[in-house]
Amino acid sequence: MNKYEKNVSSFRLFFNQLSRKKLASLSIIILMLVYLTGIFAPLLAPYDYTETNLLKTQAGPDFENWLGTDRLGRDILSRVIWGIQTTVIVTITGLLTGSLFLGLFLGLLAGYYRKLFDFIVMRSGELVSSFPDILLIILLAATLRPRITQFIYNIEEKFNFSGIISSGVVDYIVIGVALLPLSWFGTMRLIRAQVFQIREVDYVLSAKTSGASTMRIIFKHVLPNVISPLIVTSTFGLGAVALSEVMLSFFGLGVQPPRPSLGAMIADVTGRGGASVSVLTNHPEQLLAPIIVIWIMIFCWNIIGDGLTDILNPRRN
The CATH number assigned to the domain holding 295 equals 1.10.3720.10
Residue 139 lies in a domain: yes
Q: What is the pLDDT of residue 7?
A: 47
Residue 14 lies in a domain: no
Helix (H) or strand (E) holding 265: helix 262-270
Q: What is the pTM of this model?
A: 0.80
Helix (H) or strand (E) holding 197: helix 180-198
Residue 215 lies in a domain: yes
**Residue positions counted in the chain:** 317
β-bridge mates for residue 75, sequence order: 69
CA dist 175 and 253 (Å) reads 8
Q: What is the pLDDT of residue 278?
A: 63
The answer to whether 251 touches 72, Cβ cutoff 8 Å, is no
Residue 130 lies in a domain: yes
Residue 229 lies in a domain: yes
Q: What is the pLDDT of residue 78?
A: 93
Q: What is the pLDDT of residue 260?
A: 86
Residue 51 lies in a domain: no
The answer to whether 45 touches 76, Cβ cutoff 8 Å, is no
What is the distance in angstroms between the CA of the first residue and the CA of the last residue of the chain?
Answer: 26
Residue 231's domain spans which residues? 30-42+64-316
Q: What is the pLDDT of residue 5?
A: 44
Q: What is the pLDDT of residue 81?
A: 94
Q: What is the pLDDT of residue 2?
A: 46
Give the number of C-alpha atoms closer than 13 A to the C-alpha of residue 226, restricted to the C-beta side: 29
Q: What is the pLDDT of residue 79?
A: 93
CA angle 173, 72, 291 (to 5 degrees): 60
Residue 137 lies in a domain: yes
Q: Which stretches of the chain score pLDDT less than 70?
A: 1-11, 14, 97-99, 167, 181-182, 271-278, 312-317
Q: What is the pLDDT of residue 46?
A: 92
Residue 246 lies in a domain: yes
Give the number of C-alpha atoms closer than 13 A to the C-alpha of residue 19, restricted to the C-beta side: 6
Closest CA to 57 of 46, 67, 72: 72
> Using the 8-state DSSP alphabet, how is residue 75 labeled?
B
Give how many domains the chain has, as a whole number: 1
Closest CA to 60 of 295, 284, 265: 284
